[in-house]
Amino acid sequence: MKIKKLNRVIISIISFCLINMVSCNVYAEVINVNARAAIAIDSKSKRVLYEKNSDMILPMASTTKIMTALVVIKYGNLDEKITISKTAAGIRGSTVGYKEGESITERELLYGLMFRSGNDAAIALAEGIGKSIDGFSKLMNEYAAEIGAFNSHFESPHGLDSENHYCTAYDLALITAKAKENKLFNDIVSCKDVVAEDMDFTRDYHNINKILYQIPGANGVKTGSTGKAGKCLVTSVDIDGHDVIFVVLNCTPRWKETGKIYKYVKDNYSYKKLYSKDELIAEVPVNKKNKIKLSLKNDLVLPCENNKNYTTKYVVPKVATQTVNKGDNFGKIQVYEDDKLVYSEPLIAANTVNAHNSIINNFFKRVNRE
């Protein structure tokens, strides 16, 4: 009985909880941005570089179509044609001008959706992929939850005002960061013009997103405007080879204010490489001969605020009590800015080690023999 109790005590001492999380750091407002809500995040690390009311529930107009595009890319067959219905052809607001009975590929409809903010393209895609607006909206909400956009709810693929259609600036940035992982999405939103004969489309398309012409390195993403949502804009800009996502909601001077936040980020942050992929970060002993070697899956590169001190530490157990396979998450690395945690990600086992003959198991064997 005493031995079992001792075993439990020792196990509780050496056990630890792995936390795979990204710290969402909210910074005090340091510039005056004329928007109801706004945010800037690093697309890869999700580190927040600027925010104003970023967790406020708001309508988001046609920036909704970022999620629409994501669902289409995930569930659709882009070379399949969809017949434009009477409902799609008759939708109000911004449209491409598709006619009832036209047959358009999903790929072309995506360009109409993102270039011209076509509500007719949105309805056609929803009917073709989700079989109905409600069916497609269900897919949108499920995907939003997968991404971690928990304060969002979608009732349509186009974003026209409705009571239970809303998002937050932070959620919209997360959704956009997910979309930016996809090459096709990037190809579409970064392009300014498409010629029909080059793409085997039914018509030419011109991108109405003015930000592509206003900020150096801008590579997307989507405009939006309704009476309830006001002027909205989601922007992606390549800064030193890294995408930074900017969101402004209910922002009449959306081009100007996005430029203001961009300048703030550009002036106050620099990307720093803290560790290289596969660089040895830590070792954890398993027995007298073997150790688990821990590294990172990718280079650790973060936007670091100028004139701030950054330190890193790793959280791992003193010894390993179970078999660990190469590629397993094991422990984590943390990044601190002036002693404040700003980022965390898992460490990865660089080798496979069998823990059957581990230090702790050998200890228990000796105790039990006694």
**Both tokens assigned to 248:** 């402004």
Residue with tokens 């001190």: 309
**Both tokens assigned to 74:** 């995930």
DSSP track, 218-235 = EEEEEEEEETTTEEEEEE
DSSP track, 144-199 = HHHHT-TT-B-S-SS----TT-BB-HHHHHHHHHHHTT-HHHHHHHH--EE-HHHH
In whole angstroms, what is the distance from residue 31 CA to residue 43 CA? 21
Task: Tell me the one-letter amino acid at 42.
Answer: D
β-pairing verdict for 269-275 and 282-285? unpaired
Candidates 103, 108, 229, 65; CA nearest to 163 is 229
**Both tokens assigned to 87:** 């409902």
46 is in an annotated binding site: no
- Give the residue numbers annotated as catalytic, written as ranges: 62, 65, 117
In whole angstroms, what is the distance from residue 191 CA to residue 210 CA? 12
How far is residue 69 CA from its own chain's centroid? 14
For the chain, first and last CA: distance in Å?
13
DSSP annotation of 258:
H
In whole angstroms, what is the distance from residue 154 CA to residue 138 CA? 8
In whole angstroms, what is the distance from residue 120 CA to residue 106 CA? 12
In whole angstroms, what is the distance from residue 251 CA to residue 228 CA? 12
Torsion over CA: 118, 116, 229, 30 (sign): positive
Q: Binding site membership for substrate: which residues?
A: 222
Q: Binding site membership: which residues?
A: 222
